[in-house]
Amino acid sequence: MLRFLRSLLILCAAVLMPAAAASAQSPEADVSVPYRDYALGAEDAPIELIEYASFSCPHCGHFHEQVWPVIQTEFVETGQLRFIFRPIVTQPVQIAAASAILATCAGEERYFDAVDLLFFEQDNVFSTIREQGDVLAIYNRIAGAVGLTPEDFETCLQTPEYTDRVTQTIEMANADGISGTPNFLIQGRLLKVEMVDGTLTPTLDGMPVIINGERLSGDLDADNFRRIVLHFLNESDSDN
């Protein structure tokens, strides 16, 4: 367990220091190393949705529990939407970074299995931390479920290729104007929830989302997200 904690401390330094330096130097993402996205859905789908999320973000956990299954069933599996997931880090950074690395370490075929399990276990991870329990045991169980040994996971935590990917994703988020999690890019437009006139409001590029003359309000729940995706699909159809 102590070795795991030391690995996480080293991991934080490896992830955050390069990202902070890059952010200070330039708002543009570093594209010197090719970045490969992990995606679900048809490559020729009319709508592309990119999620920037953190495995230590409770709102992200809620999205993946309550909203993502609807998006996956109604739009991804029907070939209408391509979904890309980009994990960034929020506090506690050690947990967010370790989770992102575990998912990448699982490989392309098991990546989204790992994503689902990491969000499913999020509450368990937090409660175990509060109780000063064995967090490593949870990670090793998730790793085992996606075909990794505890030794595989520990090696990945110490592999520059994986820490560099986390840093690169942070740089991409900065370049895309991501200010919190979860934030989304739908057809290249920034979708998130903001306070507008004292009311939680979904916004696109900083402006309230208006569909058929109605301004959406509240969180990005399944109903609001469905309406937004359908709106973009209708726009795509009218352009063709």
To the question of domain 2-188 being in CATH 3.40.50.300, the answer is: no
User: Is the pLDDT reported for residue 10 higher than 60?
Assistant: no
pTM: 0.87
Average pLDDT over residues 151-176: 93
- Residue located via tokens 């520059």: 160
Partners of residue 40 on adjacent β-strands: 83
Give the model confidence (pLDDT) of 51-107 as tens digits: 999 999 999 999 999 999 999 999 999 999 999 999 999 999 999 999 999 999 999
Q: Which of 18, 81, 84 lies closest to 52 in space, CA to CA?
A: 84
Distance CA 78, CA 95 (A): 34
Give the model confidence (pLDDT) of 109-131 as tens digits: 999 999 999 999 999 999 999 99
The tokens for 218 are: 């509240």
Give the model confidence (pLDDT) of 172-229 as tens digits: 999 999 999 999 999 999 999 999 999 999 999 999 999 999 999 999 999 999 999 9
Strands ordered across the beta sheet of 207-208: 38-40, 81-87, 47-53, 183-186, 189-196, 199-204, 207-208
The tokens for 112 are: 């989204």
